[in-house]
Chains A and B, each alone.
Chain A
Amino acid sequence: MTDPVGQNPTAEPAILQLKNLRKSFGALKATDDVSLTLRRGEIHALIGPNGAGKSTLMRQIAGGMKSDSGTVHFAGHDVTPLSTVARARAGLGRTFQISSLAMEYTVLQNVMLGALGHEGGAMRFFRPVMARTDLIEQAMQALQRVGLENHAAKRTSDLSHGQRRQLEVAVALTLSPKVFLMDEPMAGLGASGSKRMTGFLDGLRSEAPILLVEHDMDAVFALADRISVLVYGRIIASGTAEQIKADPVVREAYLGAEDVA
């Protein structure tokens, strides 16, 4: 199999592979012939200015949006025709840019939902779910890993913006996915929170590779094994942090020549 991005054909095989994905809204090309891979053990960051089509691309991968053409291969299967639910079951663990949580629930209940999903279904009608100590243990473990264990009993709508991002990550953790798709997990975290999350994601890549959309460039340059730059729906450059920093096209189109030290 050829590596469409073509950096390193001898490296780990790709667990997630996008081939020629396209999506248009009228005349606007939100995703324009995007191909990229995610290999085991890596963090592949996707950066680009606002409106570059990062979130649209994430939705095409996770299943919330049908592509006009192109395919998504995941863990050796073509998942392009599959629904969001089926892709989640296959092992795509997603976090949202705008927190997507059950707001009336407590923090713990949101994570329990993930644990239920991981268990394979919710068609149990009689036993109180909050008496399932095994699931609660899984949920609390996930909360502990993102640093929310002291907020388990809080109502989700009472969480700060940053805490909601952490909760999104905790729910994804309970799914034990094969791949993480994370859309701006650092947004709203503040300096110390960002630092903690950066350290956490750094360790997480050995469990499952991460396709990371992020605006925090310090975090991106610290974490990413590879970076792809998306502008107007197109990948204009792809490479290591050093290559991207040095790329004149990227400097011109996105980073802004004077911003990069």
Chain B
Amino acid sequence: MRRETLLNIVLFALLPATALAAWMLDEPFIITLATKAAILALAGVGLNIALGLGGLISFGHAAFFGLGGYAMGILASHAQSYAPLMESPFLIEGTKSMPVIWLVAIVTSALAALAIGALSLRTSGVYFIMVTLAFGQMLFYFTISWPAYGGEDGLSIYVRNGFPGLNTLDPLTFFGVAFAVLALVLWGAGRLAKSAFGLALSAARQNPERVETVGLAPYRLRLVAFVISGAITGLAGALFADLNRFVSPTMFSWQTSGEIMVFVILGGVGRLFGPVAGAALFILLEHVLGGLSEFWHIYLGLILLLVVLFARGGIVGTIAGREVAHD
């Protein structure tokens, strides 16, 4: 068995093992931390498709994370106040059903990614970074100044949304839901990386001229990648909002974009399980270092610096060695 495969199995088992152990020890807070890690990993898996496979340094993925969050917040707040979203030309009511909320989050963030990507992918390099950042900030300031859904204060949802047949109020059950979504998306992302699309997208990152010469358009490949990437991060946003039962403009902030990028870089850019390792380490550091000092971000910055300088493949790259792109 390849070393990376083995490592992936360990990483995959880590979160449910932690959650189960915490459940047996009756530590619901640790289950919540494991759930948070799974959801943030999901956001990272989304970004990793654009960043790792496509080489698109998006500094605006908070836009999709936030849209997913607000899709949940808006639908659930209308459901809890029994006020429909709109009555004409047709009636749209709020909902407390996770599958419906997820679908809305995915579609909304995919459409936003299509619009943002269509414009920003006409630029490259530092301009691409700045344009994606600008779109994220636009949404951030929009939600701050939009009073209908809480403005700066955000929106609280009193009871976690439901999933047919499950009691999502139970921490372990909600962890199971989040982890199942992560597992499904990881499986899909793994297939994507090895598919014809993955081969062409990654080639467009390595050498766009080569891809054009065989008659494939890098712009189209990247746009599709950006849409898939945004949709996954949007789904993660909806779950994150459900975990906290709260959404606020912070989800749209550039710090959020930066954090999602940190998961990917810490774990290993372009590695399927990189964001899982990165998000888990991030949560761990947040709580171990955060307990020691209020200024734990300094240590996080130091670790990130060391990873970027000395361990370019992140956690996964350092342990598993050079990548075998397709096998």
Contact = CB atoms under 8 A, between A and B. Distances in A.
A83 B219 CA distance: 12
Contacts of B224: 123
Contacts of A101: 207, 210
Given A109-B325, A122-B196, A129-B195, A102 B216 contact: no
B79 interface: no
- Give me the 8 closest cross-chain CB pairs, A-B, nearest first: A117-B214, A122-B200, A88-B215, A102-B206, A89-B215, A124-B196, A117-B215, A102-B203
A124 B209 contact: no
A113 B200 contact: yes
A130 B216 contact: no
A109 B214 contact: no
Contacts of A85: 212, 215-217
A113 B199 contact: yes
A94 B199 contact: no
Contact of A171 (B214, B323, B327): B214
Contacts of A141: none
A14 interface: no
Given A85-B215, A129-B196, 11 more contacts: A84-B212, A88-B215, A113-B199, A116-B216, A122-B200, A122-B201, A122-B216, A123-B224, A127-B195, A128-B195, A130-B194
B275 interface: no
B212 A128 contact: no
A100 B207 contact: yes
Contact of A125 (B197, B202, B211, B217): B197
Nearest to A91: B215
17 contacts: A88-B214, A100-B209, A102-B202, A102-B203, A104-B323, A109-B203, A113-B200, A113-B203, A113-B210, A113-B216, A122-B221, A125-B192, A128-B194, A128-B195, A129-B198, A129-B326, A171-B213
B213 A126 contact: no
Interface in B207-260: 207, 209-217, 221, 224
Interface string A87-123: 0110000101000111111100110111011101111
A175 interface: yes
Given A102-B203, A102-B207, A130 B215 contact: no
Nearest to A111: B214
Q: Interface size bucket, B side?
A: 20 to 34
Contact of A112 (B192, B199, B215): B199
A259 B41 CA distance: 67
B191 interface: yes
B213 to A, nearest CB: 5
Contact of B214 (A63, A105, A118, A129): A118
B191 A128 contact: yes
B326 to A, nearest CB: 5
Contacts of B194: 128-130
Nearest to B220: A123
B195 A126 contact: yes
A114 B214 contact: yes
Contacts of B209: 64, 84, 96, 100
A174 to B, nearest CB: 8
Nearest to A62: B213
Most buried by A among B206, B214, B326: B214
B327 to A, nearest CB: 7
A207 to B, nearest CB: 18
Most buried by B among A110, A116, A132: A116
A39 B211 CA distance: 27
Given A116-B200, A122-B221, A130 B326 contact: yes
B206 A104 contact: yes
Nearest to A120: B215
A200 B194 CA distance: 33
B272 to A, nearest CB: 14
A152 B201 CA distance: 21
Nearest to B204: A102
Interface in A168-226: 171, 174-175
A234 B200 CA distance: 38
B199 A122 contact: yes
A89 B212 CA distance: 9
A132 B200 CA distance: 14
Nearest to B322: A155
A103 B15 CA distance: 35
Contacts of A130: 194, 326-327
B215 A127 contact: no
Given A88-B215, A102-B202, A125 B195 contact: yes
Contacts of A84: 209, 212-213
A114 B221 CA distance: 15
Contacts of B327: 130
